[in-house]
Structure 1
C-alpha cells in the first residue's frame, strides 16, 4: 500500500562557513525577522571535527562522526546512515537539493562525475531532484536560482539549499576581513529576495551553517569561531518564546523531522537541547 503523501514542506539552507557573530552583525534581513518575532534565532554548537563533509553528514543524519564514519573531507563515499532525504521519501514526500557536489556523494552516489551528476532527476534516489555544482566560487545567486527552479517545478517536501561563497571567501581572506563580512551581507540580501515567496508557498525555512571560520581562514577545530553558527527558524510549528537560545548541531535533523511531522531515525540524537533563557 503506497504511503500517504506528506503534506508539510521545509527548506534547509546551509550557508557554508557562516559563523554566528558575523551573522548577527551582517544579516540585517534575517535579524529583522527575528526582531519582529517572525523568526527565531538559536546559537548552534557545531560538532567536531568542524569540517564540511563530516558536518554535512551530521546535518543530514543526526549521527555523530565517530558513529557515521565520515571523519574528514577525504572520506568520499555514500552515507551509510538513514538521512532526512530517506525519511521524507519513506513518509511519501519528495526531496530536492541545490547544493555542493559533496552532498550528492553523501546521499546519492560517489564519486561525483560532473558529466552525469550535475543535474539529477531520479525518483529512486534519496535526493530525487538535484542541481549540483563543483566549484567553490559558483555564485550564491546561481545556487538560489537553481533552488527556486526546483522548488517551483517539483515542490519538494524537503529541499536542501547549500551555498559555498562565504566559506570560499573566508579561506581566501579570513573571517577578519571586509570580504568575508561582505559575503555574509550579500547572501542576506539574496535571502531577502527569496524567503518571502517561499514562505508564501507554505514552506517552513531553517537557515544555518555547517561550521564557522577563524581569523586565520581556518576551521576544523574547537574554537568558538569554528563551532558557533546561527540557526534562524521560520515556522509556526516551532513554539514562540521557547526559551531555547543554544542547541547542539546533532539536534537539527530530529528538529526537522518534528517540523515535518515524520518519525526520526533510531540513531538521531534527541533530547540534548541546551536551552538557555535570554
Structure 2
C-alpha cells in the first residue's frame, strides 16, 4: 500500500514538474536569434537581382535622410493622437497627419508593454520576452545587434535626452546625453522640462546625425490618474508644441540646402490601460501611434484612410534602410513601404530584397528544417 502511495506521489510530482516546464517554455519562449555576435564582421549585402540591363548597384542603397529626430512619448496611446483628444489638444500634429508630408501608422507593441523591452524592440527589430520585465528594473547594456550600435559604427553622431534606460542600454554610444530617472512617478513636469531645455540649442547645431528624445510625463500622469485625467490634455498640448518646434526647425534648416531631407519620427513605446497602467496586452496598452514626417514624402490631400496597423518591430528595419545602415541581425520586422514610395520601382525592389535576405538568413539559422532554394543564393 505504501509502495502504491509513493508511486502515486512521485507521478504527481513528475506531472507538476512537466506542467511547470511547459508553462515556463510558453511564458518565456526561446527568442529568435542570429548565431552571429554583435561584434562579428557584418554579413555582406546580397547582390541585386539580375535585370534586363546592366547595373553597377552592388552596395547597400544610399541614405534617404540626412539627419533623424526620434521623439518617443512614453505611454502614448494611438487614440491620444488619432482620436478626439488628438484633434482637440494636438492641432499641429493633426494637421501634419491630414495635410502634411507624413505617413501615419498604428504600431502594435507585443507584451510585455513596459519600457525596456519596448526600446529593445524599437532598436533591434526583435521581440523581447517576459524575462525582460524583471530586467527592466536594472537594465544591463544591450549586447544584441541594434540600430544604435550600427549608427555609431557607421560614424553617426548620436545625442540622447530623456529616460536613462537608454543610457544603461547603450553606454558609450552617445556623444552627448542627459538621462532622467523614471522612478519619481509623481513628477510629470520637470521630467519633461529636463528634455525640452536642451532643444533650442541642439536644434541649431550641426554636430549630430541622430537625436533621440524620450518624454516620461504622459506615462507618469497615467500612473497617477489614468487616461481620462484632466492632466492628459495639457500634456498632449505640450507635446504638440514640441513637435511643432522640432518640425519647423528642421524645415528652416532644409531651406536653401541641396542635401538629403531630415526625418522626424514620433512614436510611443507602449500605451496605457483604462486604469493608467501598462505591462499587459489590452488594446490600450499595445496600440501606439507611429508618425514619420519628412519633406521626402508627398503632401497628403483629400480624405485620409485610417492609419495602417503595423508591428512596432517594423520601425528598426525602416530606419536602418532609411539611414543607409545594415539591418540588425535579429530583426523580424518588415520595411514600411510608404517610406520609400518616392523611389523608383527598382530601388524599392532592392530595399525589399535586402529585407527579405536578412529575414531568410535569420529563419535559416533558427529552423533546422529550413531549406534555402537556389533562387535565393
TM-score range, shorter chain: 0.7 to 0.9
Partner of 2:80: 22
Give 2:181's aligned residue: 134
Contact residue 127 and residue 313 of structure 2 kept, 8 A: yes
Q: In 1, are the aligned partners of 2:101 and 2:296 still within 8 Å (CA)?
A: no
In 2, Cα distance between equivalents of 1:206 and 1:148 = 18
Gaps of at least 5 residues in structure 1 are 1-5, 109-124
Alignment of 1:99-138 (within 5 A): 99-108=162-171, 125-134=172-181, 136=184, 137=187, 138=190
Choose the corresponding residue for 1:13, options 71, 87, 92. 71
Matched, 1:211 2:281: no
- Distance in 2 between the 1:151 and 1:267 partners? 33
Whether 1:31 aligns to 2:78 is no
Secondary structure of the structure 1 residue equivalent to 2:313? helix
Q: 2:111 aligns with which of 10, 26, 48?
A: 48
> CA offset at residue 30 of structure 1?
0.6
Matches within 5 A, 1:1-278: 8-24=66-82, 25-26=85-86, 27-66=90-129, 70-72=132-134, 73-108=136-171, 125-134=172-181, 136=184, 137=187, 138-153=190-205, 155-202=207-254, 203-237=262-296, 245-271=308-334
Identify if the C-alpha distance between structure 1 residues 272 and 95 changes in structure 2 by more than 3 Å, giving closer, same or farther: closer
The answer to whether the 8 A contact 2:110-2:281 is kept is no
| Greater relative contact order structure (CA < 8 Å, 6+ sep) | 1
**Which of the pair is proportionally richer in strand?**
1
Aligned-residue offset at 1:75: 4.5
Which blocks of at least 5 consecutive residues in structure 2 are unaligned? Answer: 1-62, 255-261, 339-377
d(CA) in 2 for partners of 1:248, 1:183: 26
SS of the aligned residue for 1:66 comes to coil
The 3 A distance-change label for structure 1 pair 262 and 200 is farther
Aligned-pair Cα RMSD in Å = 2.7
Contact 2:318 2:334 in 1 (8 A): no
Deviation at 1:129? 1.4
TM-score, normalized by length of structure 1? 0.82
Deviates more, 1:85-94 or 1:224-233: 85-94
